[in-house]
Structure 1
Amino acid sequence: MHHFISFAFSLLAIIGLHVSVQSTGRRSERSIERHFVSLLTVSNGMEWGSWGQREFCPTRTYAAGFSLMVEERRFLDNTALNGIRLYCVSQTKDSSESNEDTSVQSDVGSWGKWTDIKWCPSGFLTAFQLRVQPSREFKDNTAANNIRFNCSQGSLLQGDGTDWGEWGDWSALCQGRGMCGIRTRIEEPQGFFGDDTALNDVRMFCCE
């Protein structure tokens, strides 16, 4: 077990156990072999859990919107951000006319609900910033809590996550037209005596 909490805290955590929520978002066909021209990362992601499979928008489409899977605040053992879903549109299609079924996501955590979609007014997602709570010994850890995106036409979109932790540095700017894929780092449920964190880090792929 990567971190430890006191026996009293663990007993209370048992009483307030999470109810696992299965993601039901419909997802389009996607190409795992799609060529990408840049990989975007941030330096403040946490290291609990493992990286899921990378997932890409369909060929000739790019991410123009996103939604988050977020667990509401609890008295004990919060996980906050559990998942990130990208919504893909073609280069010639306006996001306001987009089919919400055309979405991709990597692994997601077990708790929370999907928020409303946030769309770039025009263009595609081109950079991101992650809000992360640093490790806290003998206290509840939440890891990643929220995310922001820049759009290629200059707009800033902020997710409906929680306000724990601090915003880190922005990723590099996409090479190519915009983001086209995602890979998340998720910690599996830790059981009765563990401290769950769910989503810890994310990487974005950009395509020409």
Structure 2
Amino acid sequence: MCPEGSYATGFSIKVEPYQGLSNDDTALNGIRLHCTQGGRGDKHQDHTVESQSGMWGKWLDPIWCPPGGYLERFSLRVEKTRSGLKDDMGATSIRFACSGGENLEGHGLAWGEYGVWSPRCKKGMCGIQTKQEPPRGSLRDDTALNDVRFFCCNH
């Protein structure tokens, strides 16, 4: 959860790049909220919050709402489960809508489809909870991040 009096004005994601045809892909491994007490002007004083994150990939640079804006809803891109010996990835990217109407899209992988937009958090987003598949071991298909829930601010 964001510290008291702050809310998410930006986000960053942890992504494993495409591994090629014969290697296991996990795509989206983590999401961080960057909480501030104002707009982008104080982004250097942000407090980062995250839930569980997968072990693969690297954290990308934060993406911020315009000054004075905050994250108020999201849509998760997910690849559907593939049958047989196919490589499942789970979540592949995420996008957010800012309070001023701007949309911000993470630089995840392009596979899958975006779901419907979440309900709007009128006072911004303040918390995050992710659903992760634990590593399954060698020669097994891993997916990492599979779902996310954000909590709306009360203040």
TM-score, normalised by the number of residues in structure 1: 0.70
Deviates more, 1:95-104 or 1:137-146: 95-104
Matches within 5 A, 1:126-141: 126-137=72-83, 138-141=85-88
8 Å contact 2:39–2:70 — kept in the other structure? no
Aligned twin of 2:32: 85
Q: CA deviation at 1:100?
A: 5.5
8 Å contact 2:78–2:114 — kept in the other structure? yes
Q: CA deviation at 1:194?
A: 1.2
Matches within 5 A, 1:30-45: none
Q: CA deviation at 1:193?
A: 2.8
* Cα deviation code 1:166-204 (max 9, x no counterpart): 1111111114x1000000000010101310000000000
Structure 1: runs of 5+ lacking an equivalent: 1-55
Partner AA of 2:118 in structure 1: S
Q: CA deviation at 1:123?
A: 1.6
Aligned twin of 1:44: none
- Distance in 1, Cα, partners of 2:73 & 2:39: 20
Structure 2: runs of 5+ lacking an equivalent: none
Residue 90 (structure 2) aligned to one of 115, 139, 143:
143
TM-score, normalised by the number of residues in structure 2: 0.93
- Which of these two proteins has the greater Rg computed from alpha carbons? 1
3-state DSSP class of the match of 2:44? Answer: coil
- Distance in 2, Cα, partners of 1:167 & 1:201: 12
Q: Which runs of 4+ in 1 moved over 3 A?
A: none
Residue 68 (structure 1) aligned to one of 3, 6, 13:
13
Q: CA deviation at 1:96?
A: 3.1
Aligned residues: CA RMSD:
1.1
Percent identity over paired residues: 52
8 Å contact 1:64–1:119 — kept in the other structure? yes
8 Å contact 2:78–2:91 — kept in the other structure? yes
Q: CA deviation at 1:155?
A: 0.8
- Distance in 2, Cα, partners of 1:168 & 1:132: 8
Partner AA of 1:181 in structure 2: G
Aligned twin of 2:102: 155
- Distance in 2, Cα, partners of 1:64 & 1:116: 14
Aligned twin of 1:125: 71
* Cα deviation code 1:27-63 (max 9, x no counterpart): xxxxxxxxxxxxxxxxxxxxxxxxxxxxx00001000
Aligned twin of 2:125: 179
Question: Which has a greater percent of strand?
Answer: 2
Q: CA deviation at 1:97?
A: 2.4
- Distance in 2, Cα, partners of 1:200 & 1:188: 11
